[in-house]
Amino acid sequence: MSPAPRSRVRRAVRWALLLAAVAAVGCCAQPAFLWVGAWVRDKPVTEAVPPGFADDASRMNRTAVAEVWPVPADPAAAEAQLRDLLRRAHEQKLHVSIAGARHSMGGHTIAADGVVVDMLPFKRLELDAGRNVLRAGAGARWSEVIPFLDAHGLSVAVMQSNNDFSVGGSLSVNCHGWQHDKPPIASTVESFRLMTADGTVHRCSRTENAELFRHALGGYGLFGVILDAELRVVPNERYTPASEVVATDRYVERLRVVATDAGMVQGRLCVVPGDDFLRKAVLTAWRRAPCGRAEIPVLNAAGFAGLRRQVFRAQIGSDAGKAVRWRAETAVAERLAGAFFSRNQLLNEGAEVYQERNADRTDILHEYFVPPDRLETFLAAAREVIPRHGADLMNVTVRTVSEDTDTALRYADRDLVALVMLFNQGRDPASDERDAAATRELVDAALAAGGRYYLPYRPHPTPAQFAAAYPGAAAFFACRQRHDPAGVFRNRFADKYAPR
């Protein structure tokens, strides 16, 4: 007997649902499998550095120190006690290093057996609204600065792509970001107060103590303690993204077209091993979408942190994970067209969303700068060097940085394209040595392309490579010798690269 019509319909619906479920599982099984795997492998450890030691974001630099000394938050107490500390350092022949958020990766905040000055408590913020100038204590982090400025309809003019860093640390490496075609942060500095090794506080600007101004910005804490700074700020704005996938050999040409009226621009290169490896990019320009202040989207906590973390971490050691992220990223880029974002929202992203937290592995950054017309030359070398060393490249962002006319130890000696590379690796000495070998070859490739490399990361480049990339280095260290003849301010970066 044939079934009644209603039960035939029910059976058909059941089959349709089953087929849909099978199709959905087919499409999503691989990503879901990878993300669950990433979640299972993600075993965060709270790794307290033991008393008597200091380390940085690399978790590769644990070093015995005499003490970590937090600066008092109150400006008068901070200055008096810092002066006492410097006097004691002179008397006891102690070295002093300066630490902000400690996201540099080469012991730049650490002097062996020395005193680490922890600047984070020194974070007072004041706005001079008439001049659009922010006065920020050097210990303030961007995650504190951005909400403060947001409440006044303002935004940071130049900063990194994450909000974790301190103002003092950002000035001392002369950071740059993805604010389109802007010079590094020094260009936004009106003035700062610097306590030099003899305990004197100097106001430094382009016209007052100009030599200290040029050397302490990008000076890696070797000229004194930056106490606070006056930074020019800009209006918070509304942006709308326009994205496209481009071949890297057309990146610069397309950038010039899509960046019209863009406040921020960033490219992400494909890191999937194979034909597209460092040959394709998602190029996104965040164009200005002018509106009244009330229509600028409110500043929120960044969403989907858990999912974004798993998508990112699923790439570790996995070509499939990298392919899934690339597909997800290109799809999301298309979907964002027409949406609105505030400038402050884009800037207010923490690095911890993606950070490696397992005990045996770490994330290491590299950054290379090349003239725009040599981008492809550098990438051709990178495509060969990176796989040969078995390096696990997780992310590459591409930005532009305009010429820096303010600092002595400058990387942007002309308009350049910056490539920020994030690698995941073991924390063991063999992995570090593999990273060192790859770094030195990539530095050679950047130099051969007329470029530079960035200094806050692992100190793997040789002194000869450093001298080639920074021809002003000898004069920089000679100036340091004049301002701090006893070499009170010291760190592992200077230990490696300062002349003896």
Ligand X SMILES: Cc1cc2nc3c(=O)[nH]c(=O)nc-3n(C[C@H](O)[C@H](O)[C@H](O)COP(=O)(O)OP(=O)(O)OC[C@H]3O[C@@H](n4cnc5c(N)ncnc54)[C@H](O)[C@@H]3O)c2cc1C
Q: What are the phi and psi torsion angles at 53 (to 5°)? A: -130, 160
User: Least distance to ligand X from the beta carbon of 364, Å?
Assistant: 9
Comparing CB distances to ligand X, the nearer of 265 and 289 is 265
Structure-block tokens of residue 21: 């479920």
Comparing CB distances to ligand X, the nearer of 179 and 236 is 179
3-class DSSP state of 453 = strand
Angle, helix 375-388 to helix 429-448, in steps of 10 degrees: 160
User: Least distance to ligand X from the beta carbon of 362, Å?
Assistant: 11
* Residue type, position 127, single letter: L
User: Cα 203 vs. chain centroid, distance in angstroms?
Assistant: 28
Exposed/middle/buried for residue 440 (C-beta within 10 Å: 0-12, 13-18, 19+): middle
The β-bridge partners of 201 are 195
Comparing CB distances to ligand X, the nearer of 138 and 391 is 138
User: Least distance to ligand X from the beta carbon of 215, Å?
Assistant: 11
Comparing CB distances to ligand X, the nearer of 222 and 285 is 222
User: Least distance to ligand X from the beta carbon of 473, Å?
Assistant: 15
Spatial distance between the Cα atoms of 197 and 75, rounded to a whole number of angstroms = 18
Contact 255, 224 (CB under 8 A): no
User: Least distance to ligand X from the beta carbon of 130, Å?
Assistant: 26
User: Least distance to ligand X from the beta carbon of 226, Å?
Assistant: 4
Q: Cα angle vertex 318, ends 313, 319, to 5°?
A: 120
How many helices (DSSP H) and strands (DSSP E) are in the chain? 14, 19
Contact 462, 440 (CB under 8 A): yes
Structure-block tokens of residue 289: 């979408």
User: Least distance to ligand X from the beta carbon of 51, Å?
Assistant: 19
Comparing CB distances to ligand X, the nearer of 172 and 424 is 172
User: Cα 385 vs. chain centroid, distance in angstroms?
Assistant: 23
Angle, helix 5-41 to helix 305-313, in steps of 10 degrees: 70
User: Least distance to ligand X from the beta carbon of 492, Å?
Assistant: 9
End-to-end CA distance of the chain: 99
Comparing CB distances to ligand X, the nearer of 296 and 498 is 498
* Binding region for ligand X (CB under 6 A): 57, 97-104, 108-109, 119, 138, 160-162, 165-166, 168-170, 172-173, 175-177, 220-221, 225-226, 351, 365, 456, 491
**Residue, CB closest to ligand X:** 169
Comparing CB distances to ligand X, the nearer of 178 and 289 is 178
Angle, helix 5-41 to helix 319-335, in steps of 10 degrees: 120
Comparing CB distances to ligand X, the nearer of 63 and 160 is 160
